[in-house]
């Protein structure tokens, strides 16, 4: 396989500790259940004074404020029976607008540890986040919710890398070749992402978003800002077989204008539902 002879097996939790040991510091460390179930990782982060919001399984055990040991699922059934304990808040912007969920905050026997529960508004599915905030840092529900919502952009990055840059589309088998392919793909994604971020304000000509559900559409929807896929298409078109002058620019502007119009109508459609959620 071409693996270095001195390479040792490391779990995902141990790899996370290696990355953190390189001197990087974060507002919050976020991760899925693989990281949340790693006792070694949680203890390491707490020793470093690093706040975290990690997903855990429903069977994860906590010690409630009263000293009773409960699983996450049991804690929800016993401690948040009252619907007033749930608060509807957005976990941040998604591809279709605000991501609304119901949230409950459960204290534990430790003043620094908390259980944050997310409930889907349609399916009532639950997700559990075990949280740690060191002494001296602000401890508020909105701050924990914001941190819990940060996992979504990370998932989007991986999906974008696979769907648009071929992160998982290689036929290599050796360790060195896999590492090279991964680095090249992520470098290409980073170049397009940075370019899109730098051009966002200059290329965003969208009409103002609707403010009422019955608002008439604007006569000119404008164009959405250049996105990562469009940056990739622009770069690829410069290397592809030459077409008629302005061909790539014409279809680029057509797509962006069509997407701007679709976004406007989608936001207007969601207004009624969003008003009902936060009322």
Per-residue pLDDT at 161: 85
Q: Both 18 and 122 in a single domain?
A: yes
Whole-angstrom Cα distance, residue 216 to residue 232? Answer: 34
135-154 b/e with 16+ CB inside 10 Å = b? eeeebeeebbbbbbbbbbee
* Tokens describing residue 14: 């141990």
Clarify whether residues 142 and 201 are in a common domain: no
The owner of tokens 């409630």 is 64
Q: Is residue 157 part of a domain?
A: no
Tell me the H-state helices in the chain.
12-20, 33-36, 39-47, 72-79, 141-148, 151-165, 175-203, 228-239, 247-278
Q: Do 139 and 239 sit in the same domain of this protein?
A: no
CB 126 within 8 A of CB 119: yes
- In total, the chain counts a number of residues equal to 279
Question: And the tokens for 174?
Answer: 């050796």
Note whether residue 205 is domain-resident.
yes
Tell me if 245 is assigned to some domain: yes
The pLDDT value recorded for residue 52 is 95
Which residue's structure tokens are 């429903």? 58
Give yes or no: residues 136 and 189 share one domain.
Answer: no
Q: In angstroms, how far is CA 241 from the centroid of its own chain?
A: 37
Specify if 176 maps to a domain: yes
Give exposure, 231-246, as e/b (b: 16+ Cβ within 10 Å): bbbeeebeeeeeeeee
Domain termination residue (choose one: 149, 181, 211): 149
Whose tokens are 């936001």? That residue is: 267
pLDDT at position 120 = 92
Counted domains in the chain: 2
- Determine the Cα–Cα distance for residues 240 and 116; give it in Å rounded to an integer: 50
pLDDT at 157: 78
3-state secondary structure of 213: coil
Tens of pLDDT, residue by residue, the chain (279 residues): 667 778 788 899 998 888 886 667 788 999 999 999 999 999 999 999 999 999 999 999 999 888 889 999 999 999 988 888 899 998 887 766 778 899 999 999 999 999 999 999 889 999 999 999 999 898 999 999 999 988 777 777 778 888 888 888 888 888 888 889 999 999 999 999 999 999 999 999 999 988 888 899 999 999 999 999 999 988 888 777 666 777 778 888 888 888 888 888 888 887 766 555 544
**Would residue 253 count as lying in a domain?**
yes
Q: Can you read off the two tokens belonging to residue 278? A: 């936060």
5 in Cβ contact with 175 (< 8 Å): no
Are 67 and 109 contacting, i.e. CB atoms less than 8 angstroms apart?
yes
- Domain span at 232: 166-278
Beta pairing partners, 62: 70
- The answer to whether the beta carbons of residues 195 and 231 sit under 8 Å apart is yes
Q: Which of 94, 120, 149 is the last residue of a domain?
A: 149
24 and 126 both lie in a single domain = yes
Same domain, 179 and 70: no
| Neighbouring C-beta atoms of residue 211, cutoff 10 Å | 9
Residues 125, 16 share a domain: yes
**Contact by Cβ (8 Å): 100, 18:** no
161 lies in some domain = no
Q: Whole-prediction pTM value?
A: 0.76
Angstrom distance (rounded) from CA 73 to CA 78: 9
Distance CA(39)–CA(42), nearest Å, equals 5
- Residue 204 covered by a domain: yes
The answer to the question of residue 232 being in a domain is yes
Q: Does residue 116 share a domain with residue 37?
A: yes
Q: Which residues contact 76 (CB under 8 A, 6 or more apart)?
A: 104, 106, 117, 126
């Amino acid at each position: 396989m071409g693996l270095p002879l001195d390479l040792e097996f490391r779990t995902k939790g141990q790899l996370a500790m290696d990355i953190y040991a390189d001197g990087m510091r974060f507002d919050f460390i976020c991760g899925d259940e693989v990281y949340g179930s790693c006792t070694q990782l949680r203890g390491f982060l707490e020793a470093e004074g690093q706040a975290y919001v990690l997903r855990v399984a429903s069977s994860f055990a906590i010690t409630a404020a009263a000293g009773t040991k409960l699983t996450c699922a049991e804690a929800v059934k016993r401690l948040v029976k009252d619907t007033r304990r749930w608060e509807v808040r957005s976990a941040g912007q998604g591809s279709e607008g605000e991501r609304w969920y119901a949230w409950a905050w459960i204290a534990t026997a430790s003043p620094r540890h908390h259980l944050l529960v997310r409930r889907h508004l349609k399916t009532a599915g639950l997700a559990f986040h075990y949280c740690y905030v060191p002494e001296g840092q602000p401890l508020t529900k909105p701050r924990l919710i914001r941190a819990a919502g940060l996992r979504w952009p990370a998932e989007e990055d991986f999906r974008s890398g696979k769907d648009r840059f071929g992160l998982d589309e290689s036929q290599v088998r050796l360790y060195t070749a896999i590492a090279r392919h991964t680095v090249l793909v992520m470098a290409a994604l980073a170049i397009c992402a940075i370019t899109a971020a730098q051009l966002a304000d200059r290329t965003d000509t969208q009409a103002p978003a609707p403010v009422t559900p019955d608002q008439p559409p604007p006569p000119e929807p404008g164009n959405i800002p250049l996105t990562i896929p469009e940056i990739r298409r622009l770069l690829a078109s410069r290397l592809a077989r030459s077409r008629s002058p302005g061909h790539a620019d014409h279809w680029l502007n057509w797509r962006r204008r069509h997407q701007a119009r679709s976004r406007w109508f989608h936001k207007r459609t969601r207004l009624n539902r969003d008003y009902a959620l936060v009322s």
